[in-house]
Amino acid sequence: MKPWGGRFNEKTDPLLERFSASIDLDWALYRYDIEGSKAHAEMLQKIGVLSKKEMKDIVAALGEIQKEIEAGAFTFSSGLEDIHMHIEARLIEKTGDAGKKLHTGRSRNDQVSLDMRMYLKDHLRDIERSLMALLKRLVQKAEQEKTTIMPGYTHLQRAQVVTFSHYLMAYYYMLKRDRERLKNVLQVVDVMPLGSGALAGSTMPLDRDFVRKRLAFARLSENSMDSVADRDFVVDAIYGIAMIMMHLSRLSEDLIIFSSNEVGFVTLPDALCTGSSLMPHKKNPDALELVRGKTSRVIGDLFSIFTIMKGLPMTYNRDLQEDKGPLFHAVGTAKDALAVTALCIAGMRIDRKRMERAVSESFMPAVEMAEYLALKGIPFREAHGIVGRLVRDCEKRGKTFKDLTASMLKKFSPLFEKDIFDSIDPQAILKNRKTRGAASFREVERQINAEKIYCNH
């Protein structure tokens, strides 16, 4: 291939053609490149650069090119570098001089920014819809498990009694924040850059607002240099996706542990697990392990785009070609991970008896026991020490709180009465917690009812 225009005497070295080609990735932008080109052609006709016939011929030919790509009949070549050049070359084959006029007032610099923004408007909305589907699954499962009690953990140690519903709603709120974050990213993306040219705009009387309305963008970019140099919207998008993946990874880790033979709180759907090539009894949580593993690559995508951007001078530099790999990978991974997780939440079975047994065999009501003493006037730090010594004594004797009597408790504090056993009963604890947002039956019910309304909007 000879470089564009008459500036060069030599053809591009084949090594550089191969090294600089991005068509293996950016072909995915073809629909957006074609739609943006149609809008640009319509605008050029409006300002008199194209005749009505030329515009119609270009628009029709672009539609034919799209069908060729979608039918697998389009020939891609590393010699044509990127999707923009492929489409333009094919357009010129089809329309001759009319096709050569299409690039009037346009640079690949503002063209690729437009394509990527259009791509993200579509795909971030897809991810948002997938997020909402998962949120609905979580609320549905939480409603089914409102009275299922389980240990809540800190440091992977049993800490306090909660409901499985409250646990699920914790992840619900993480992912709800992710959805709101994506909505903010969509506002950042919704800016129309075409008309900025290579970096300085154009002497042509381009009607940028016509193109903005035609392509359904909310507003125009304000500074032509920033327009072509900017990839903040890509960084924001990958950051938002990395946050989603991080939350899915944490949920996956929990469910992998909960589904282990040692814990056995949940059974994962067979359809999301695999067997062993050697061990006939194995049921491995591969889908969740892959969500956890793929999260590291999406976080790598975020660091990749940061590293690409950190040293770039104004304005456009070819380094920006490398933004597509991280972005496309992050988007595709998040879509699959959200779908897998939604299937897992919907299909997993809960062993309520095993969860309840884990609660009853623990010292988790120690917190409420200390609060019982605090309500009777003992300073909390002193109450904390009393109950800590009681737990140590129980461990030494191989007993649990269920094995104790009021007289045994009085050896540790005379303020213990028979009503202490009502205070540390797991069901009573979940009824008696008073703070908003607490792991109580009443608060979980309130959260679920509120979020059902959110999910149905």
Instruction: Point out the residues that are catalytic.
Output: 155, 276
Q: How far apart, in whole angstroms, are the C-alpha atoms of residue 166 and residue 138?
A: 11
201: exposed, middle or buried (C-beta count within 10 Å: 0-12, 13-18, 19+)? Answer: middle
Please report how many Cα atoms fall inside a 13 Å half-sphere around the Cα of residue 30, on the Cβ side.
Answer: 23
CA distances from 417 to 29, 384, 404, 430 (A): 72, 17, 12, 21
> Maximum Cα–Cα distance for the chain, whole Å?
101
Tokens of 403: 């094995």
d(CA 142, CA 5): 63
Q: In the structure encoding, which two tokens stand for residue 241, read together?
A: 């996706």
Structure tokens at 93: 């084959």
Tokens of 329: 């990978």
Characterise 274 by phi-psi region: left (phi > 0), alpha (psi -120 to 50), beta (else): beta
Return the C-alpha torsion angle 193, 198, 203, 204, nearest 10.
-60
Write out the two tokens for 119.
């791509």
